[in-house]
Structure 1
Amino acid sequence: MKTTISQVSKHLDQTVTIGAWLANKRSSGKIAFLQLRDGTGFMQGVVVKSDVSEEVFQTAKNLTQETSMYITGKIVEDTRSAFGYEMQVSEIEVIHEAVDYPITPKEHGVEFLMDHRHLWLRSKKQHAVMKIRNEIIRATYQFFTDNDFVKVDPPILTGSSAEGTTELFHTKYFDEEAYLSQSGQLYMEAAAMALGKVFSFGPTFRAEKSKTRRHLIEFWMIEPEMAFMDHEESLKVQENYVSFLVQSVLNNCKLELDVLERDISKLEQVKAPFPRISYDDAITLLKEKGFTDIEWGEDFGAPHETAIAESFDKPVFITNYPAEIKAFYMKPDPNRPEVVLCADLIAPEGYGEIIGGSQRIDDLELMKERYEQHGLNSPAYQWYLELRKYGSVPHSGFGLGLERSVAWIAGVEHVRETIPFPRLLNRLYP
Structure 2
Amino acid sequence: MNATISEVKNYVGGEVTIGAWLANKRSSGKIQFLELRDGTGFIQGVVLKNEVSEQVWEDAKSLTQESSLYISGTVREDKRAPSGFELTVTGLSVIQIAHDYPITPKEHGVEFLMDHRHLWLRSSRQHAILRIRNQIIKATYDFFNDNGFIKVDPPILTGSSAEGTTDLFHTKYFDRDAYLSQSGQLYMEAAAMAFGKVFSFGPAFRAEKSKTRRHLIEFWMIEPEMAFCDHEMNLRVQENYVSYIVAQVLKNCANDLKAIGRDTTKLEKIKAPFPRITYDQAIEFLKEQGFDDIEWGDDFGSPHETAIAEHFDVPVFVTEYPTKVKAFYMKPVPGREDVVLCADLLAPEGYGEIIGGSQRIDDLDLMKKRYEQFNLNDPSYKWYLELRQYGTVPHSGFGLGLERAVAWICGLEHIREASPFPRLLNRIYP
Given the two structures, how large is their TM-score scaled by the length of structure 1?
1.00
Distance in 1 (alpha carbons) for counterparts of 2:121 and 2:84: 24
Residues of 1 paired with 2:185 and 2:148: CA distance? 19
Q: Deviations for 1:379-409, whole angstroms, at most 9, x for unmatched residues?
A: 0000000000000000000000000000000
* Corresponding position of 1:7: 7
Aligned to 1:146: 146
Name the structure 1 match of 2:55: 55
Is 75-84 or 108-117 further displaced after alignment? Answer: 75-84
Name the residue aligned to 1:427: 427
In structure 2, what is the equivalent of residue 198 of structure 1? Answer: 198
Which residue is equivalent to 1:36? 36
Q: Within 5 Å, which residues of 2 pair with 1:404-423?
A: 404-423=404-423
Deviations 1:285-308 (A, max 9, x none): 111111012100000000000000
Deviations 1:191-214 (A, max 9, x none): 000000000000000000000000
- Which residue of 2 is the match for residue 125 of structure 1? 125
2:182 aligned with 1:182? yes
1:330 and 2:330 correspond: yes
Q: How far apart in 1 are the matches of 2:67 and 2:86?
A: 19
Q: Distance in 1 between matches of 2:4 and 2:380?
A: 51
CA distance in 1, matches of 2:240, 2:52: 55
Give aligned-pair identity as a percent: 74
State the partner residue of 1:319: 319
- Alignment-derived partner of residue 291 in structure 2: 291
Matching residue of 1:245: 245
Structure 1 residues 61-76: aligned runs within 5 Å: 61-76=61-76
Matched, 1:348 2:318: no
Aligned to 1:357: 357
Structure 1 position 225, deviation (Å): 0.3
- Give 1:385's aligned residue: 385
Distance across 2 between alignment mates of 1:222 and 1:312: 25
Aligned to 2:95: 95
2:127 and 2:60 map into 1 onto residues whose CA distance is 24
Q: Give the secondary structure class of the aligned counterpart of 2:388.
A: coil
In structure 2, the partner of 1:366 is 366
User: Residue 74 of structure 2 aligns to which amino acid in structure 1?
Assistant: K
Question: Which whole-Å CA distance do the structure 1 matches of 2:235 and 2:243 have between them?
Answer: 12
Residues in 2 aligned to 1:419 and 1:79: alpha-carbon distance in whole angstroms: 32
Deviation of 1:82 (Å): 2.8
3-state DSSP of counterpart to 1:300: coil
Runs of 4+ in 1 over 4 A off after TM superposition: none
Within 2, Cα distance between the matches of 1:56 and 1:137?
A: 41
Counterpart in 2 of 1:268? Answer: 268
Counterpart residue type for residue 125 of structure 2: K
In 2, Cα distance between equivalents of 1:7 and 1:291: 54
Q: What's the CA shift for 1:83?
A: 1.1
Q: Provide the rounded CA distance (Å) in 2 between the counterparts of 1:335 and 1:72.
A: 72
In structure 2, what is the Cα distance between the partners aligned to 1:372 and 1:79?
67
Can you list the C-alpha shifts for 1:246-275, whole angstroms capped at 9, x where unaligned?
A: 000000000000000000000000000000
Of stretches 114-123 and 76-85 in structure 1, the one that deviates more from structure 2 is 76-85
The one-letter code sitting in structure 1 at the alignment partner of 2:190 is A
Deviation at 1:235, TM superposition (A): 0.1
How many aligned residue pairs are there?
430
Partner-residue secondary structure (3-state), 1:211: coil
SS of the aligned residue for 1:369 comes to helix
Alignment deviations for residues 96-150 of structure 1 (CA, whole Å, 9 cap, x no partner):
1100000000000000000000000000000000000000000000000000000
State the distance in 2 between where 1:68 and 1:412 align.
30
Is 1:21 the equivalent of 2:24? no
Output the amino acid matched with 1:295. E
Q: Secondary structure at the match of 1:148?
A: coil
**What displacement does 1:413 show?**
1.0
Offset, 1:337: 1.4
**Which amino acid letter does the alignment assign opposite residue 103 of structure 1?**
I
The CA distance in 2 between the partners of 1:324 and 1:210, in whole Å, is 22
Q: Provide the secondary structure at the position in 1 that maps to 2:389.
A: coil
Q: Distance in 1 between matches of 2:2 and 2:81?
A: 23
1:59, distance to aligned residue in structure 2 (A): 1.4
CA deviations on 1:3-53 (whole Å, 9 max, x unpaired) are 000000000000000000000010022100000000000010000111111
Secondary structure in structure 1 of the residue aligned to 2:294: coil
Amino acid at match of 1:360: R
Structure-1 separation of matches of 2:63 and 2:414: 34
Tell me by how many angstroms 1:54 deviates: 1.4
Q: What amino acid is aligned across from residue 390 of structure 1 in structure 2?
A: Y
In the alignment, which residue of structure 2 is the partner of 1:113? 113
Matched residue of 1:138: which SS?
helix
C-alpha separation in 1, matches of 2:269 and 2:61: 47
- Report deviation, 1:335: 2.2
The residue number in structure 2 matching 1:279 is 279
1:19 counterpart letter in structure 2 = G
Q: In structure 2, the residue corresponding to 1:313 is in which secondary structure?
A: coil
In 1, distance between residues paired with 2:293 and 2:422? 35
Q: What SS is found at the alignment partner of 1:388?
A: helix
